[in-house]
Structure 1
Amino acid sequence: MTGNDPRSSAEHFFTGATTTIAAQVDQRFSYSLYIPKRRAGDPERYRLVVMQHGTARTATRYRDAMMGFAEEQRVVVLAPLFPAGIVDPDDLHNFKFLEYRGIRFDLVLLAMIDEVSRRVPLRTERFLLHGFSGGGQFAHRFLYAHPQRLLAASIGAPGRLTLLDDTTPWWLGTKDFARIFGAAPDIAEIRKVPIQLVVGDLDVEGWEINNQYDSNWLPGLEKQGKTRIERLQTLQKNLDDHGIAARFDLVPGAAHQGLKMIDVVCEFFASVLARPS
């Protein structure tokens, strides 16, 4: 940008890989973006990919890993950042369950999308969502709450599942879902969403997901499986029992390593974007 460039510095930093931006709906939360530089032949409005971080909050690493895909597919990438220690300084898990002490993280994300769409030409009616580990927990629960907003959902190696089961209380099941979120999961709408379940074939350590003394443990969780692979298989069966199709990708040579999922996630998203809209 030269001294004669009429763009403001804000406009300059709102392209390519952006800085971290406070969400206007609630400035405890923030996001970063990757916005391709507009070129001839681009769609009037870009599709959106949301990359949801996990417990380690490495939001920009996931954003950066998707930059090549964004350029190739002409999409915008949004990486929300939901810090640990909101309300409770010792809490690590808040966003994973969508609702935490009066905060609706699903609605914060939707507000972020609305905010970005006021500055970037986006198609916001449906977007692509990927999350790994804690982000995978968020992604499958978001799918239950807002299937009508998703073009596709990629659910990576969640350690704790919510199964579609209206006899088991939240969050192991969905018995209380309508009370908490305003409506029960719409199974017919969920069936319309292309779903990917993805995990590394070496993701077998159980110390983090079998800790019965952690704040995010509920009795009965042990029935979901001992490893993230087994738990994702449990989720696939639960979805299948409700007539919901989901592809299962086991990534060779990968342990609990979210960035090693990116290639197969991109392949899945590309296949969805190639479908007639």
Structure 2
Amino acid sequence: MHGDSRSAERYITDWLPLAENRNVVLIAPKFSKEFYKEYVYLMKSNKKGRTISDPSLDLENSLGLLFDFFSSKLKLTNKSFRLYGHSGGSQFVHRYLLFSEELRIDKVAMANAGFYTFVDDSKKYPFGIKGMRVSDDRLEWFLRLKAGVFLADQDNDARQSNLPSMRKVRKQGKNRLQRGNNFFNHLIKLGKDRNISFRWRYQIVQGVAHDNSGMSAAASSFLLEDL
């Protein structure tokens, strides 16, 4: 899943050598700025939390529909799919996991998100889940999923031009590295509080900054290890 650059083609290019000789189909959807400016929030709100009230734009089931389409078109027999997102794509992916009803996802890697939606019903979306529908069953599925948070050790520039810098976001940390670490610790606590086995992986990728190519190489070892 692409970031704010919408460079889906480049993401496919980065992943092609990583998936060589693997029995996988790579799909990189592209949500245009013209029609899906706020795609990272699933088109449910803008970055300030102002609700988008057009249900026809809601993306909470978009990937399941894409999976159905390509399964039919390519005559695929597998019953599940995996997700990878970098930067804005990582924002999209973790929110999709929370708010979609899709259960056919069996493994996920999220890299270098600008900020996160915490499972906190005192904070308005997209910073928390106040006013959003997230069932206990969905949260349990979310925490038990085979997922990973991948963070670049050099993605630590608090002044990077494309780093989300709203006041509510800065409370999550000064940079992407801090924010990802704080989000992961939040999920650990959530799992303990709810007595749910937390299965996610946490990995710091050395020698990489805010770069999809470097993060893809690390994430692919996790996503494709059993294929």
Shorter-chain TM range is: 0.7 to 0.9
The residue that corresponds to 2:185 in the other structure is: 237
Counterpart check, 1:224 vs 2:176: no
Contact 1:113 1:124 in 2 (8 A): no
Partner deviation per Cα, 1:221-244 (whole Å, 9 max, x = no partner):
211000100000011011111223
The residue that corresponds to 2:129 in the other structure is: 174
- Name the SS for the 1:106 alignment partner: coil
Contact 1:114 1:124 in 2 (8 A): no
Partner deviation per Cα, 1:131-186 (whole Å, 9 max, x = no partner):
000001001111112462311111111112101112222111112221xxx75671
Matched AA of 1:232: G
Counterpart check, 1:65 vs 2:6: no
The residue that corresponds to 1:120 in the other structure is: 74
Contact 2:115 2:164 in 1 (8 A): no
Greater strand percent: which structure? 1
**Which has the higher relative contact order, 1 or 2, with Cα contacts under 8 A spaced 6 or more apart?**
2
Q: Give the 3 Å change call, closer, same or farther, for CA 123–95 of structure 1 in structure 2.
A: farther
The total of aligned residue pairs comes to 208
Matched AA of 2:112: A
Cα offset, 1:121, TM superposition: 2.6
Map residues 37-186 of structure 1 onto 2, 5 A cutoff. 52-86=1-35, 91=37, 94-100=38-44, 101=52, 102=54, 103-123=57-77, 125-146=79-100, 148-178=103-133, 183=135, 186=138
Contact 1:167 1:173 in 2 (8 A): yes
The runs of 5 or more residues in structure 1 that have no matched partner are: 1-51, 212-216
Cα offset, 1:99, TM superposition: 2.3
Contact 1:157 1:228 in 2 (8 A): yes
Q: For the residues of structure 1 that align with 2:72 and 2:180, how far apart are their CA atoms?
A: 37
Counting aligned pairs with the same residue, the percent is 25
The runs of 5 or more residues in structure 2 that have no matched partner are: 45-51, 192-197
Q: Give the 3 Å change call, closer, same or farther, for CA 184–136 of structure 1 in structure 2.
A: same
Contact 2:67 2:81 in 1 (8 A): no
Counterpart check, 1:200 vs 2:155: no
Q: Give the 3 Å change call, closer, same or farther, for CA 123–241 of structure 1 in structure 2.
A: farther
Q: Give the 3 Å change call, closer, same or farther, for CA 124–238 of structure 1 in structure 2.
A: farther
Partner deviation per Cα, 1:90-136 (whole Å, 9 max, x = no partner):
x4xx1101124421223233222211111113256421101000001
TM-score by length of 1: 0.69
Matched AA of 1:72: N
Partner deviation per Cα, 1:187-228 (whole Å, 9 max, x = no partner):
2111331111112111112233353xxxxx3x4221100010
Max Rg structure: 1
Contact 2:152 2:205 in 1 (8 A): yes
TM-score by length of 2: 0.83
- Name the SS for the 2:123 alignment partner: coil
The residue that corresponds to 2:195 in the other structure is: none
The residue that corresponds to 1:11 in the other structure is: none
Q: For the residues of structure 1 that align with 2:223 and 2:41, how far apart are their CA atoms?
A: 24
